[in-house]
Structure 1
Amino acid sequence: MTTPTTTGPLAETTLLRFATAGSVDDGKSTLVGRLLHDSKSVLTDQLEAVAHASRNRGQDTPDLALLTDGLRAEREQGITIDVAYRYFATPRRRFILADTPGHVQYTRNMVTGASTADLAIILVDARNGVVEQTLRHAAVTALLRVPHVVLAVNKMDLVGYGEREFERIVEEFAGHAAASGLPGFTPIPVSALVGDNVVQRSTRMDWYRGPALLDFLERVPAGVEAADAPARFPVQYVIRHGDARYYAGQLASGTLRVGDRVTVHPSGATSEITGIDALGTPVQAAYAPQSVSVRLADQRDVARGDLITSGVDVPALTQEVRAAVCHLTDRPLRVGDRVLVRHTTRTVQAVVKDLGGAAELTANDLGRIALRTAEPLALDDYAVSRRTGALLLIDPADGTTLTAGMVAL
């Protein structure tokens, strides 16, 4: 468990991607709505629409959950089905927020929403404590290696704002978090309905010494993993300008500098960076996640799907792939299935060799698989890089995304 604090420097980047997860009726959408409302990130016409919809449902006050539950089917059922993305900003930071579904049959949507998150907020109802779906969300968060986790104990108003109830839930969650592989978490007691500890510190819980949720979100570091990881540059486009070739793409992790010796995978060819352009302007260095074009000293045979790296920490070049996965579609995945594997900008054919002993994987199943690819892939362990350690399995017949995988070398 991580003790929350408001001291120290502000966040290292101006953008934080975070996702919410929790069981049905734990109050995810209300929390997100309160966060948007109290941070003054909601337009007047949106508030009016929510107030009107709330009155039509017989509610005296605006239901802030409607700010994220925007689909008609969700409003009719009173649940979140799809991942609802919202963009907002405060003077300190910009945010991309993903409100993910709570139902077990929509676990795949949580994987989608949390796969690029710097932080995950796992909600629990203070009355119910840790339930089965809480443990599932903790396991998925650990599997995706989300760098920061907040345990938001919601509906504290319904348990009398009691410290004992809060501590009991935190202690119970801590045991499960350690077992699932979560390195740590920050607990915050909140009431999304009333607004306690969401944007403003609560006056009803003077026993709590930590920050409000928004204050923590504004200060937590983000993007550190990408900056500290080895340099990985997947080539997306080859741009020819006269006799020169520029290799364009987004730097997945690390740093590239003019003068760096680099290796092109899977060919293994080596060269030196002679120029880097960012938005048409020459620069001496590029940092993840910048989109840049790179020029090499030699006219190498570099194509879309190749991976340019620098330094001695190189990826594993292999055709035998093992990964932890979440199956995303209703079509089962079975041993012997032929699939396409998409890794960064590279797509290769593959066959499923093993499913960790399972007969098949169906929608929302978590499992482990082994693949044999037709061509070698330059892979990092997912623990090293969430970008170059991730892959997708695709149906070669119709292009449907079947499975999301996290490489385990």
Structure 2
Amino acid sequence: MPTPIDGTPPGTNPSPPPKDGGNVTPPPDAGENPPPPPDAGTPPDGGSGPVQQTPDPWPREAAVNYTKRFGVGRPRDVAVDEGFNIWLLNGNQIGVLRPGDSQPIWVKDIGQAARGFTSTVICGGSAGRAYVGYYANELEEAGRQSYEDPVFGEGDLDVVKLTPDGNIVLEEHLFRSYRRNKEKNDGSLTWNPPTNIGLRNSNNWTFDEDRAVLSCLRVMRGRDKGEVYVGTNHGVSRIKGLYYNSHRHPVWFEGTTQRAGYTYGLGISQSGDVLIANNWTFGIVTPNADLGVWDWMNPKELNPMKVESAYLPEVNALEVFDFWRGFEQTKDGRYYLGSKDFGLWEMSIISRGNPFQKGTKIAGLPTDAIMALAATDDGSLFIGTDDAGLWRMDANRTLSRVTDVPGGQVRRLIYDPNGTPAMLYVLTNEGLTVLRGH
């Protein structure tokens, strides 16, 4: 998703974030709970829905312009669900191109859009389901005393779905906070009841910190296939079906004040780790299978961090924004970070606990404005720029411009290895192109 120079989502005029990005000191009990027993389980509706098992139904050419062939237009964001439905987001409009259709169907002004909130991103879920993110200004005081406070329903995520008759409807405004609590005397475990409204802190619902959704991705394979991660103005929330757990974030401290930053960079490593990069720092988390403990920071073994909260001193001092917009790991195990202002960097892990890691800038690109990254199974790294189109660094680390993709500004890259052959969705200012076989 493109952002203006100040790093805010398109179509919004929020007040500038305070020095700490709008973050507050976490409540004293943040992340403090004993680990659950091995049979902790998953919440209701925790599955990812029906999974497409047959080869996908889309054209097999190496490059297809979906804007020209299927009339998808020039949306602001794009997504694909597990049934290979292609979701489109354009302001207050949500569209979907279903397999077999010649053009998308559209609806407008449903959910948060009807309340005047600005849409930011869309992410596919189970077959026929998508998640739509919205922007809301941060609160000067994030703590609230009643879950009926109307600010709890601002921004956050809507869940939309396809109906059998081919319409798009609001399923619900995501509100079901899920977290493992302490073990009761009878040995049972509980989770927070679904009384929260919107995307609240799972460890303490009275804090409304994650109000603006800035990035999202669906896990495409592995143990957690079908789960969704969203990056917000404060951290990263994890979603399974209609339940969420919020949040985790790389942070740093200026004195006793926590600095978290806006999370635009999200990725999944080759082994299933969650790659998180915000405006200041980055981290790598190996997620526990249990959604209910995603936000637990202690004990550290529960969600071990390969990189805890770090920055690259070769780019800037810690106090200066690095504006990370992409974080990926290629097949050879190398990590890459892309900045909208400072170019593409290879990151080498020095050690987990270090506040800094090693950065090496990748030379050869015509611009330092990197907006999206995608690692593919052939060993390539695709690099979406803000002003020079799409580039590819192949397995031999040779850079070249991808001339099959029109447009200079790349808005989104989505790699779906479940296609046959694999599909790379490339959204630019000129529309949607799908590349195959990488």
TM-score range, shorter chain: under 0.3
TM-score with structure 1 setting the length? 0.26
